[in-house]
Structure 1
């Protein structure tokens, strides 16, 4: 296994979508589609994808912004958050969902995938992963502070996959009253929801604006435990 991904493509009706692929040390295993934050397939998303591959998963991270012109940006720039908000506002969400569903289908079809195939998303990608779960029945769903979840709760009955949701108790975008509404909507025997005390939105992202070290470590341990139980290597 290498931390550096292989570049592949997935065909869509509008052309080939760029995708990053990481293989585990064994070369085969269950699959995971990692869905980006609003910052794209950033260094952070690539790092987490490599972490998952090291655990034994075949991982792909599709470039969901691939249809947008001028979608790249400097994560160290002062306007990086404003620029990312602008990108996601320009995104055609139904097409983005279709692209993510296509990514899951393509992953399932890869020879290296010898077990199940699931979705894991951060922030924007957490909501996207929830929509994929409602439409394409992955084997697992992991959503870190899915920002669109409050608007997607009518899809909850269609999500049958074992699911893990992470939220920070100090998330300004998803306040606790909203988290409780999400908890009620998604509740079921296969659903786990973890609260991380004192953490804000995007707490797993290492950028100083967002990072909460304890919550990040705690959530990652819970994620790896969940995957080991629900979609073992």
Structure 2
């Protein structure tokens, strides 16, 4: 009689191993070591870990966190990664949302192109990986992730999205892409840039096409996103009659919510997080 070690791996075990490898733990190489201000959220009373989302015959790895033993469906928050992928900071943000009563899920949106954790610098990561990821692919993967949540305990009538840096830009695009979400929060996402085949349009181009209200959270000292650009976005939103709103924290720079980096601004991060949760609740996405 064969022993367990003689038996071939069970398909579920192989899939779980694949997902764990695809997501991994810890911080991306380009941003290690983590700053002393890093926040760690435990998994007590939560159900957390890697999940697989089917997309066109492939399996999209994602990190999911939700309250354990919840009764009924849960409000959903899609969490869109920074350029560094779904590393420890993004996973921690999912746990924070789960502690607040949400099913939070962060799909690894570069999984076809490579592993963002392995690149030693932001510049190399941008040049060799991020530039190969199209907006069309990302929006499709977010659609699939959202559909997955609705068949795994998520409430299709209470769905929101948030994202950070690279993901902040994607939040604006997704709010113009679908009416399946009720609210959105974009953290220091770039509002405009040169167009390309991979990134044909930008948030400033889509200000009058938003299907969900967006809360934009920006830093007044952000060297990569000028206040003139923020003002242009505010003007376009006002002209379109959009309920979307932009908040600027004068003393914060780019990445002010990234507690694992020197850019962290605790006051702005805490206020922005509270305003995001209130924004979701005000638009019907609340536990």
Question: Is the structural similarity TM-score above 0.5?
Answer: yes
Q: Secondary structure at the match of 1:72?
A: helix
How far, CA to CA, are the matches of 2:215 and 2:68 in structure 1? 25
- The corresponding residue for 1:98 is 140
Could you state the TM-score of these two structures normalised by the residue count of structure 2? 0.73
Task: Check 1:114–1:136 CA distance in 2 against 1; reply closer, same or farther (3 A cut).
Answer: closer
Query: Is structure 2 residue 225 aligned with structure 1 residue 174?
Result: yes
- From the CA coordinates, give the structure whose radius of gyration is larger: 2
- The corresponding residue for 2:197 is none
Query: Is structure 2 residue 193 aligned with structure 1 residue 152?
Result: no
Matches for 1:124-139 after TM superposition, within 5 Å: 124-137=166-179, 138-139=181-182
- The corresponding residue for 1:221 is 274
The structure 2 residue matched to 1:38, chosen from 83, 86, 99, is 83
The CA deviation string for residues 76-110 of structure 1, in whole angstroms up to 9 with x for no partner, is xxx43224323212223321221122222322333
How far, CA to CA, are the matches of 1:177 and 1:19 in structure 2? 36
Q: CA deviation at 1:154?
A: 2.3
- The corresponding residue for 2:48 is 5
In structure 2, stretches of 5+ residues that fail to align are 1-42, 194-201
Whether contact under 8 Å (2:191, 2:225) holds in the other structure is no
How far, CA to CA, are the matches of 2:59 and 2:191 in structure 1? 26
- The corresponding residue for 2:286 is 232
The structure 2 residue matched to 1:61, chosen from 103, 106, 131, is 106
Number of residue pairs aligned between Structure 1 and Structure 2: 229
Whether contact under 8 Å (1:124, 1:148) holds in the other structure is no
- The corresponding residue for 2:215 is 164
Q: CA deviation at 1:185?
A: 2.1
How far, CA to CA, are the matches of 2:124 and 2:91 in structure 1? 20
Task: Check 1:4–1:44 CA distance in 2 against 1; reply closer, same or farther (3 A cut).
Answer: farther
How far, CA to CA, are the matches of 2:79 and 2:230 in structure 1? 22
Query: Is structure 2 residue 133 aligned with structure 1 residue 80?
Result: no
